[in-house]
Amino acid sequence: MHADTSAKTPHPLRRLSRVWTAVAWCGALGYPVALYFAMIAGRGGFTFLMVASLIALTALTGLLLRSRPLPALAMLLIGWAVARTQMQNQEILYLQVVLGDLAVGWIAGTRPRRTSIPAAVLAFGAEFGTILPSMIGNPERAVQLTAFLALAAGAAWLAGDSARERRRHAEELSARAATQAVTAERLRIARELHDMIAHSIGVIAIQAGVGSRVIDTQPAEARNALSTIEVTSRETLAGLRRTLVALRTSAERDAPLDPAPGLAGLDRLVASALDAGVRADVRLSGERRSLPADIDLAAFRILQEALTNVVRHAGTDECRVAIAYAADEVRVEVEDDGGGGLSGGHGYGIVGMRERVGLLHGRFTAGPRPEGGFRVAARLPVPLGETG
């Protein structure tokens, strides 16, 4: 057996990261010492090499703000506090304030407030402590410098914290939009499955009942019922298969899928309803034309669900289907004179139809007719110039 050494042997990139972190900490620990001797040597003027070295050490210490913000900030503040002991001039004070407050802004922009607020207090305290000796005996200057340091630290913290809040808000909006998109897709799939299966199961249930009643007395009629059940079952299985394939291969845009159903399949709906014992009288008006795919599918599903409701609930053997093509919309309607229907327009089918129409910014009504029976009507807007 071979021992697993993957956990004992670090990845090369991980080893390099550890080495780099060790180098950064060595530079940070030596930063105050380097500043101390640089200020002593710089009293007669700074050389280019000295300035470049200090910039490199400052950047090296600043890199640690990403992993250890408060210790890295402490090293920066200690370094410039030491520098101020050797060189008391405005330039060094400004450098101390700028570097300290930039670090505070970075911490506030990347860390929670439980870390950034102590960082701002620490920076202000260190800066105030270094100028305290120069303010003795000059209260007016003391007030001015204290206000300046407080405003600078507060502004840096506020800028960083505001940036962090905006970023967090944008992430929340993005996550909410993703959740809403997933929910909308789930509802769309639920509507598709309901509209596709409910119609077929309704037809199968009715045909099974007819077959069971006449199998002994009318074998030919029973065979017709069984044949209808077989055809309807195969169509439903094919539709389910297409839906599952579409879900599994949604990232494959070129996946060979059958076209979505539309009003071109109206004859099949009418024939299916007739097999279930309901004759549909179809009336078309307007110039029949190709519709956008989403509108064509919605119109088909609404008619399918409405006919299913007639077959299952209306208690009648006929109904009327109307399709009207207008310049800017298409209207579909199914009404019957039966005594059933869905009182109040409740049920998943009605809800699904209403949602489909709402997503397309159309109008939908469903309910009992004053003269008896039930009526389902939808008006789907068609943008001018758009066709399927």
- pLDDT at residue number 358: 85
- pLDDT at residue number 5: 46
**Sign of the dihedral defined by the CA atoms of residues 87, 88, 92, 97, in that order:** positive
Contacts of 265 (CB under 8 A, 6+ apart): 300
- pLDDT at residue number 199: 67
- pLDDT at residue number 319: 93
Residue ranges of E strands in the chain: 279-285, 318-325, 329-336, 363-368, 374-381
- pLDDT at residue number 244: 65
Contacts of 208 (CB under 8 A, 6+ apart): 225, 229
What is the token pair recorded at 271?
């024939």
Say what angle helices 12-41 and 69-86 make with each other, to 10 degrees: 20
Residues 192, 4: Cα–Cα separation, whole Å: 51
What is the token pair recorded at 187?
């509802």
- pLDDT at residue number 2: 47
Instruction: Give pLDDT tens digits for 187-230.
Output: 777 777 776 676 677 777 777 777 777 777 887 777 777 777 77
- pLDDT at residue number 377: 94
Residues 130, 7: Cα–Cα separation, whole Å: 48
- pLDDT at residue number 345: 46
- pLDDT at residue number 22: 77
Residues 265, 41: Cα–Cα separation, whole Å: 91
- pLDDT at residue number 344: 44
**Sign of the dihedral defined by the CA atoms of residues 107, 108, 109, 110, in that order:** positive
What is the token pair recorded at 49?
């090499």
Instruction: Give pLDDT tens digits for 255-293.
Output: 444 566 888 888 888 888 888 888 999 999 988 888 888
- What pTM was estimated for this model as a whole? 0.48
Q: Distance from CA of residue 368 to its chain's centroid?
A: 40
The residues of the chain scoring below 50 in pLDDT are 1-9, 251-257, 343-345
What is the CATH code for 278-388? 3.30.565.10
Residue 270 in contact with residue 321, Cβ under 8 Å?
yes
